[in-house]
C-alpha cells in the first residue's frame, strides 16, 4: 500500500495482549484507503454494510476506518462513512468500551485515546462515548465482558444501560444476537455474572423474562426458603460452570427450575409439579431465541427429571431405567454425565451446600453403566420375537440396576 495508508491492530487482540491472554483473533483497521485500494492490493471484499476485506493469506479481517450515524432502532439501524479522511481516533470512538478502543501501530506502539489501559488495570468496563446508547447489543456485550473478566460496570455506563432498557432500545435486539452473546457468556468462568448484570439494568426482563420471573419466588421449604428461586438459579449456574466447561450442560442448569415462576399459590412452598410446568417455558424460550436442538433436549430432560435424581436412593429399578431412557442417558455416557452434573449443580446451588457431596449423581452413573453393560445380543440369542427380545433386555437391565453395589454411598 502507498505511504498514506496506515494499518493498525485493534480491539480484542490489543486488550488480550495487555492482559497476557492468548490472542485468538486479530482484527485490523486501515486508515487512508478506499475499497479500490484494498482490492488492488489483493484483499477480498466481504462486508455488506461497510467495507471489510479478508487477507487471502492469513484469513484475517481488515476494515476501513469508519464512523457511523444512528438512523433507526436496533443494532442494524446505522449509516456508515468509511472515507479515507476518517482517522483512527474517530474509528475507535465508535467502539463500545474503552478496553476495546485501543490500537497498536505496525511498530507495536499502543494508541489509547480513551484510557482503556487504565480501565483494564482497574477492572472497569466503561463506555467510550454516549454513542454506546445507539446499539443495544452493547448491553449484552458489557454483561458478557463482566462475566468473562470479572470486571465491574462503571456507574455512568450502568446508567446508560438502564436508559437503553427504559427507552425501548433493548427491545430491538434480534433473537439470534441474544443467543450468540448468551452462549459466549455461558462459556465464561462466571456466567452467573452475565445474568446478574442484565438484571441490574432491567434488561433480563426484556430478553429472558423466564429467568427474571424467578426472582422473588421463594424456594421450596426443604431447601433454604430464605433465598428465592432467582438467586438459587444464579448459584446453580455458578456451580455448573465449576463442574463442566460444556455450555449445553450450563444452559440446562440455568433453565432447570423455570416452572417455579408459575407455581400456583396453593402449591407454595412445595412447588409441586414445577418440573412439568417448566417444559413449555423451556420450549418457548428455545424457540424464541433459536437455541440449537441439543441445548433444548438436555434442558428438557434435566427439568423433567432433576427431582428423580435427588431421590435416586429411593427409586425403584424400573423407574431408574425409565429415567435413563427418557433422558437419553442409557447408552450415552456423555449425556449421563451432563444430567449428573446439572443435578449436582442444583444440589450445590444453595448457601452452605457449595462443597456438598452428592452421592445421588454417583449412583445414577453406576446405574447407567450397569444397564448399558447388558449384552442385548447374548440375551436375544435363540429368540425370534422382537417384542420378546425387547422385554428380556428390559428385564435384564432392571436386574443389573438392582444388583449395583451402593454400600459405599449414602444419601447426602
Mean pLDDT of the chain: 90
Please state, in angstroms and rounded to a whole number, the distance separating the CA atoms of residues 197 and 257: 20
Please state, in angstroms and rounded to a whole number, the distance separating the CA atoms of residues 258 and 266: 18
What kind and span of H or E run contains 180? helix 175-186
pLDDT value of residue 70: 60
Picking from 14-23, 35-44, 291-300, 336-345, which range would have the lowest pLDDT averaged per residue? 35-44
pLDDT value of residue 300: 97
Please state, in angstroms and rounded to a whole number, the distance separating the CA atoms of residues 389 and 408: 34
Please state, in angstroms and rounded to a whole number, the distance separating the CA atoms of residues 52 and 169: 26
Q: In the beta sheet, which residues pair with residue 68?
A: 80
Picking from 73-82, 251-260, 300-309, which range would have the lowest pLDDT averaged per residue? 73-82
Q: In terms of pTM, does the model score above 0.85?
A: yes
The answer to whether 31 and 8 have CB atoms below 8 angstroms apart is yes
pLDDT value of residue 288: 97
pLDDT of 412 > 60? The answer is yes
Highest mean pLDDT of the ranges 75-79, 216-220, 244-248, 306-310? 244-248
pLDDT value of residue 268: 67
Residue 50: how many other CB atoms lie within 10 Å: 15
pLDDT value of residue 410: 84
Residue 27: how many other CB atoms lie within 10 Å: 16
Picking from 58-72, 161-175, 264-278, 326-340, which range would have the lowest pLDDT averaged per residue? 264-278
pLDDT value of residue 269: 63
Confidence of residue 78 (pLDDT cuts 50, 70, 90): low
Just give the CATH number of 1-122. 3.30.460.10
pLDDT value of residue 2: 60
- Quick one: which of 393, 367, 387, 390 has its CA closest to 312? 367
pLDDT value of residue 234: 97
Please state, in angstroms and rounded to a whole number, the distance separating the CA atoms of residues 43 and 361: 54
Q: Domain ranges for the chain, please list them.
A: 1-122, 208-402
The label of the residue with cell 454494510 reads 49
Mean pLDDT, residues 31-35 taken together: 90
Mean pLDDT, residues 106-112 taken together: 94
pLDDT value of residue 46: 86
What kind and span of H or E run contains 10? strand 6-10
pLDDT value of residue 49: 66
The answer to whether 30 and 38 have CB atoms below 8 angstroms apart is yes
- Quick one: which of 313, 317, 340, 346 has its CA closest to 327? 340
Amino acid at each position: 500500500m502507498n505511504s498514506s495508508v496506515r494499518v493498525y491492530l485493534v480491539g480484542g487482540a490489543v486488550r488480550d495482549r495487555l492482559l497476557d491472554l492468548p490472542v485468538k483473533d486479530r482484527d485490523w483497521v486501515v486508515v487512508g484507503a478506499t475499497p479500490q485500494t484494498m482490492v488492488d492490493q489483493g484483499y477480498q471484499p466481504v462486508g455488506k454494510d461497510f467495507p471489510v476485506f479478508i487477507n487471502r493469506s492469513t484469513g484475517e479481517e481488515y476494515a476501513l476506518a469508519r464512523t457511523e450515524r444512528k438512523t433507526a432502532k436496533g443494532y442494524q439501524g446505522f449509516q456508515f462513512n468509511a472515507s479515507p479522511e476518517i482517522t483512527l481516533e474517530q474509528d475507535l470512538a465508535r467502539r463500545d468500551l474503552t478496553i476495546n478502543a485501543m490500537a497498536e501501530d505496525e511498530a507495536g506502539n499502543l494508541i489509547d485515546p480513551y484510557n482503556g489501559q487504565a480501565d483494564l488495570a482497574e477492572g472497569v468496563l466503561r463506555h467510550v462515548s454516549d454513542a454506546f446508547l445507539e446499539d443495544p447489543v452493547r448491553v449484552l456485550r458489557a454483561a458478557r465482558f463482566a462475566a468473562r473478566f470479572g470486571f465491574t460496570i462503571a456507574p455512568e455506563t450502568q446508567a446508560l444501560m438502564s436508559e437503553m432498557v427504559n427507552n425501548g432500545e433493548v427491545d430491538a435486539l434480534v433473537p439470534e444476537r441474544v443467543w450468540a452473546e448468551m452462549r459466549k457468556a455461558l462459556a465464561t468462568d462466571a456466567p452467573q455474572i452475565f445474568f446478574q448484570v442484565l438484571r441490574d439494568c432491567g434488561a433480563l426482563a426484556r430478553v429472558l423474562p423466564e429467568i427474571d420471573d424467578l426472582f422473588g419466588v421463594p424456594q421450596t421449604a426443604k431447601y433454604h426458603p430464605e433465598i428465592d428461586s432467582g438467586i438459587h438459579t444464579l448459584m446453580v449456574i455458578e456451580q455448573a460452570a465449576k463442574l463442566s466447561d460444556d455450555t449445553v450442560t450450563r444452559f440446562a442448569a440455568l433453565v432447570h427450575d423455570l416452572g417455579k415462576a408459575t407455581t400456583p399459590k396453593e402449591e407454595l412452598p412445595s412447588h409441586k409439579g414445577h418440573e412439568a410446568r417448566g417444559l413449555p417455558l423451556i420450549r418457548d424460550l428455545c424457540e424464541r431465541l433459536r437455541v440449537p436442538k441439543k441445548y433444548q433436549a438436555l434442558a428438557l430432560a434435566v427439568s423433567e427429571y432433576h427431582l428423580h435424581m435427588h431421590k435416586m436412593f429411593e427409586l425403584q429399578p424400573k423407574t431408574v431405567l425409565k429415567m435413563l431412557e427418557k433422558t437419553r442417558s442409557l447408552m450415552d455416557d456423555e449425556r449421563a454425565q451432563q444430567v449428573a452434573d446439572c443435578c449436582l449443580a442444583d444440589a450445590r446451588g444453595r448457601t452452605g451446600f457449595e462443597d456438598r457431596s452428592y452421592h445421588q449423581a454417583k449412583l445414577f452413573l453406576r446405574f447407567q453403566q450397569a444397564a448399558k453393560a447388558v449384552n442385548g445380543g447374548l440375551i436375544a440369542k435363540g429368540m425370534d420375537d422382537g417384542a420378546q427380545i425387547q422385554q428380556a433386555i428390559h428385564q435384564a437391565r432392571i436386574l443389573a440396576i438392582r444388583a449395583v453395589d451402593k454400600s459405599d454411598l449414602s444419601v447426602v
